[in-house]
Amino acid sequence: MKKVFYLLIAMATIMTACKKKQTDQHNPFFEEWGGEFGLPPFAKITDADYRPAIIEGIKQHEAEIKAIIDNQEEPTFANTIEAYDHSGQLLDKVMNVIFNLNSSDSNDSLKAIVEFALPMLSEHKDNTFMNPDFFKRVETVYKNQEKENLTTEQKMVLDKIYKQFTRNGIALPADKQERLRQVNKDLGLLQQKFGNNLLAETNAFSLVIDNKEDLAGLPESAIEAAADEAKATGKEGKWVFTLKNPSYVPFMQYADKRELREKMFRAYSMRGNNGNEYDNKQIILDIMKLRIEKANILGYNTPADFFLENSLAKTPDNVNKLLNSIMPAAIKKAKDEAKELQKIIDSEKGGFKLQPWDWSYYAEKLRKDKYALNEDEINQYFQMENVRQGVFELASRLYEINFEPLKDASIYHEDVEAFKVTNQADGSLVGIFYTDYYPRQSKRGGAWMNNFREQEVINGKDIRPIVVNVGNFTKPTSSKPSLLTTDEVETLFHEFGHGLHGLLSKCNYRMINGTNTPRDFVEMPSQITENWAFQPEVLKTYAKHYKTGEIIPDSLVQKINNTAMFNQGFMTAELVAAAILDMNWHTIKSVEGIDVLAFEQQAVKNMGLIDEIIPRYRSTYFNHIFNSGYSAGYYAYLWAEMLDKDAFELFKEHGIYDEATAKSFKENILERGSSDDLMVLYKKFRGQEPSITPMLRDRGLIK
**What DSSP state is assigned to residue 613?**
-
Query: Cβ(152)–Cβ(85) under 8 Å?
Result: no
Query: Cβ(443)–Cβ(184) under 8 Å?
Result: no
Phi, psi of 417 (to 5 degrees): -125, 150
Query: Cβ(507)–Cβ(455) under 8 Å?
Result: yes
**What DSSP state is assigned to residue 513?**
S
Query: Cβ(228)–Cβ(211) under 8 Å?
Result: no
Separation of alpha carbons 212 and 223, rounded Å: 10
Strand-pair partners of 239: 209
Strand order in the sheet with 466-470: 401-405, 417-423, 429-436, 466-470, 448-453
Q: Considering only CA atoms, which of 379, 340, 382 is closest in space to residue 363?
A: 340
Separation of alpha carbons 405 and 421, rounded Å: 9
Measure the CA angle with vertex 221, ends 215 and 223; round to 5°: 25
Query: Cβ(561)–Cβ(408) under 8 Å?
Result: no
Separation of alpha carbons 100 and 172, rounded Å: 34
Query: Cβ(118)–Cβ(98) under 8 Å?
Result: no
Query: Cβ(325)–Cβ(612) under 8 Å?
Result: no
Separation of alpha carbons 602 and 600, rounded Å: 5
Phi, psi of 365 (to 5 degrees): -65, -45
Query: Cβ(612)–Cβ(355) under 8 Å?
Result: yes
Listed in sequence order, the residues at least 6 apart from 252 whose beta carbon sits closer than 8 Å to its beta carbon are: 261, 264, 265, 357, 360, 361
Q: What is the dihedral of CA 677, 681, 683, 689, to 10 degrees?
A: -40
What DSSP assignment string belongs to 603-663? HHHHHT--TT---SS-GGG-HHHHHSS-TTTTTHHHHHHHHHHHHHHHHHHH-TT-HHHHH
Query: Cβ(281)–Cβ(272) under 8 Å?
Result: yes
Separation of alpha carbons 383 and 517, rounded Å: 33
Is 495 a catalytic site residue? yes
Coil, strand or helix: which one is 422?
strand
Separation of alpha carbons 26 and 412, rounded Å: 19
Separation of alpha carbons 611 and 597, rounded Å: 15
Query: Cβ(206)–Cβ(247) under 8 Å?
Result: no
Of 153, 375, 495, 530, catalytic: 495
Q: Which residues are catalytic?
A: 495
